[in-house]
Amino acid sequence: TDGRQAMKLLRNELTDEQRNRLIILLDLNMPRMNGAEFLAELRGTPDLRRALVFVLTSSALESDLARVFEHNVAGYFLKSDFHSLLEVLKAYACSCCFPQLHPLAGPGRNVSVRPTPETVHELSVCGIAEDI
C-alpha cells in the first residue's frame, strides 16, 4: 500500500470504533506519499489524529527520526528487528485499556475496557502478527 491508499482506507473503510483504537505501523519509505507526509495528514485529520503510530525504518539517522517525532509517534523500530516489534504489539494489545467512546460519554464518563479477543484478532487479521 502506498501512503495515499492507506489514508483513503483509514478515512473511508473503517468504523468509528476502529478509528478510535488504531495502531499504525508506518514505513517511512512509501511511494506517492512518504511517511512524514502521511503523518502530517493523519495528525491533521480530527477522527484519526489519536492513532497510535509506530514507525518502521531502515534508518537510525537522528534527522529522519526527529522529523517523525514532531508528529507524535509512539516509537520506532528498525526493520531489521521485526521480532521486537511483534513483542511490543503483543504486550500492548494484552495490557492496554482502550477508552470506550460512546455518544453518551462525556467528561468523567469514559470507561476503560480491556481488549477483547476480537481486538487482538484485528491485529492478526492485518497480517502483522499471525500468532497473537
Q: How far apart are CA 66 and CA 92, in angstroms?
A: 24
Cβ pair 98, 119 in contact under 8 A: yes
pLDDT at residue number 43: 92
> For the domain 3-96, what is the CATH superfamily, name and number?
Response regulator (3.40.50.2300)
pLDDT at 66: 77
pLDDT at residue 99, rounded to an integer: 54
Query: Taking the model in full, what pTM does it have?
Result: 0.64
pLDDT tens, position by position, 75-130: 888 888 878 878 877 777 777 665 554 444 444 544 444 445 554 444 444 444 44
Alpha helices by DSSP H, listed for 1-132, are 3-12, 16-19, 35-43, 62-69, 82-95, 117-125
Q: Each residue of 33-83: pLDDT tens digit?
A: 888 899 999 999 998 988 889 888 887 777 777 777 788 888 888 888 878
Is pLDDT above 50 for 132? no
Rounded to 10 deg, the angle between the 117-125 and 82-95 helix axes is 160
Residue 125's pLDDT is 42
pLDDT at site 41 = 93
